[in-house]
Amino acid sequence: MPPKQQMQIPATAEVVDLDSSDEEGGGPPANTRPSNSEKLQTNPPTTSATQLASAANTGGASAVNNRSLENRSFWRAGSYEIGTTKSTLLMHGDLEHARVHPKFLHSNATSHKWAFGAIAELLDNAVDEVESGATFVKVDQIYNSKDNSPALQFQDDGGGMDPERMRKCMSLGYSSKTSNTTIGQYGNGFKTSTMRLGADVIVFSRSNRSGRATQSIGLLSYTFLRRTGQDDVIVPMIDFDISDNWAEPILYGSKDDWSSNLKTILEWSPFASEDELMLQFENVGSHGTKIIIYNLWMNDEGIYELSFDDDHEDIRLRDEANLGSKTKTFKRVLELQSHLSYRIRFSLRAYASILYLKKFTNFKIILRGKPVEQFFIADDLIHTKTITYNPQVGQGLKEVTVKTIIGFIKEDPEIGICGFNVYHKNRLIRPYWKVTTEGTSRGLGVVGVLEANFIEPAHDKQDFERSILFIKLESKLKQMVNDYWKSHSPLVGFPPTDGMGKSNDVSGNTCRNRGNHQSTTAEPILRTDVRDHPENPPDAASLHKINEENIQLFMRVDLDVYCSINTP
């Protein structure tokens, strides 16, 4: 039974100023309460009730002119004039440190060009909690009770966050993850991902560490900061000690400070009362975290980026899904649309199914009430081959072993699906990365899977840093495709190649055998105009050009996009 709130006990909690330090230390020990006089990067001094209460009424003309966000489109929400600001330097003991302007929350989030990349960051945080006993993460749509607008909720049953970890989560550059197996490492993913999906986020977390049970609530609100004309990022938080089976507010400062934190949370969150806030913990259990992102971003047409209505068991990217909504397309293009490599562009269920390389044994991603069925890409390949690559990494040039599974897709290889799915620490970074040269049939239908832990992903985890090791890996993958193609392409109906990798088909056609590749009668890739003029068949280059023009005409997306499926 969840603890009851002890309403009559006054307490205080500080409003945290975000700091951009990358250092791990500095916070109070998990089993101690920070004193009111301490000035720490993860636990800055208490903002007084007077300061918080005046936030909604200060800021001069800037506050008056920004009572609402001018643009609900994410890519325009950062375009606004900055009003008169206070000093950009704050005293930190005998030293000064820089402020973090609210506009940085938006510019920082632009590292996520793709909304699904932001969702993946939040899934990563839950998967990292498997080490703390997490068995699920639930992703679902809920509604903001104040205006009935859609919101996005993430909930896991991991170890949760105590007050100190909550402050690190809300601050910039802090990460408590030191394991070699965890995905998170930069201490920035929570801020960039939540702010990329919506203007505001509220976090509820329960934890039981060092014999002390706590629950914390934190609000990171771009809307609050904009509308009140703030020139520094402040995050209202309140904490409770629930060790004695009731919620006793944790004291950090004055009664007015705590009340002001609570008042700000209630004013700018989807919850109108303290009782409504406390109800959010009822299904959290003894430990876990619930994240609610609201005021979701819209596209330039004023429609929510995320679609919850097209499929009630999925969350879709509206603009990406509409790319394929043509009334008339070629059969070949329809095959492309139905393939997983294309569906991951707009279907969260499809993307989540291949997001992690290893299948979970006691953990589930539950999307809109239905578990996501994990899909191992290599299981869907034929004529597979395992190739070992041993790059030398580090100052001591230590040799590591990377195994790549390569093969042909089970579907028609000629539809253009190809590329390598490259994972890092179990997490998909680059899906269907095409490394072969354009304008050639070599490599069509060839797909590979590998885990490359020796190269570093970019901050949005949708690509890799362009290091020497990355360039060498790309060269090695090209070689893998060429070698595999020479020996295996005839198995799926492509003409054999000579020692230079050129086709031995004297007619110049790129063709394949009918049926199960046992008939000697061949037909070209495109079954359109060729049959009408058998006496004058086009060569391979012409066929490729026709294929490209058809796709551009009916899909407005070229073959390269389909093959590489680069993140938008």
Per residue, the 3-state secondary structure of 356-392, as one string, reads: ECCCCCCCEEEECCEECCCCCHHHHEEEEEEEEECCE
Cβ proximity of 448 and 460 under 8 Å = no
pLDDT at 521: 33
- Residue type at position 143: Y
pLDDT at 39: 29
- Among residues 477, 454, 451, 476, which one has the least CA distance to residue 465? 454
Region of residue 357 (phi > 0: left; psi between -120 and 50: alpha; otherwise: beta):
alpha
- Among residues 174, 178, 194, 199, which one has the least CA distance to residue 186? 174
Region of residue 211 (phi > 0: left; psi between -120 and 50: alpha; otherwise: beta):
left
pLDDT at 215: 96
**CA dist 408 → 358, 378, 388, 446, 475 (Å):** 21, 10, 18, 5, 20
- Among residues 504, 566, 564, 514, which one has the least CA distance to residue 540? 504
pLDDT at 412: 83
| β-pair type (212-221, 234-241) | antiparallel
The CA distance from 344 to 297, in Å, is: 20
The CA distance from 180 to 205, in Å, is: 25
Q: Which residue has the tokens 């397309």?
A: 329
The CA distance from 64 to 54, in Å, is: 14
Would you give the DSSP letter of residue 214?
E
Q: Which residue has the tokens 């703030």?
A: 230
The CA distance from 203 to 186, in Å, is: 20
**Cut 0.85: pTM above it:** no
pLDDT at 530: 34
H/E segment holding residue 409: strand 402-409
The CA distance from 342 to 84, in Å, is: 48
- Residue type at position 21: S
pLDDT at 416: 84
The CA distance from 514 to 367, in Å, is: 41
Contacts of 307 (CB under 8 A, 6+ apart): 315, 316, 317, 318, 321
Q: What is the DSSP string of 267-305?
A: HHSS--SHHHHHHTTTTTTTSEEEEEEEEE-B-TTSSBS
The CA distance from 55 to 34, in Å, is: 25
Cβ proximity of 451 and 402 under 8 Å = yes
User: For each of the chain's 568 residues, which pLDDT tens digit applies?
Assistant: 444 443 333 333 344 555 443 333 333 333 343 333 332 233 333 444 554 555 544 443 333 334 346 678 887 787 766 665 555 555 555 566 677 888 888 888 888 999 999 999 999 999 999 999 999 999 999 999 999 999 999 999 999 999 999 998 888 765 554 455 555 444 578 999 999 999 999 999 999 988 899 999 999 999 999 899 888 888 999 999 999 888 999 978 888 899 999 999 999 999 999 999 999 999 999 999 999 999 999 988 899 999 999 999 999 998 776 665 554 557 777 878 889 999 999 999 999 999 999 999 999 999 999 999 999 999 999 999 999 999 998 777 788 999 999 999 998 888 889 999 999 999 999 999 999 887 788 899 999 999 999 999 998 899 999 999 999 999 999 999 999 999 999 999 888 765 555 555 433 444 444 334 333 333 333 333 333 344 444 444 554 455 555 444 444 444 444 444 444 4
Q: What is the DSSP string of 496-537?
A: PB-TTS-B--TT---EEESTTTT-S-EEES--SSGGG-TTS-
The CA distance from 61 to 83, in Å, is: 7
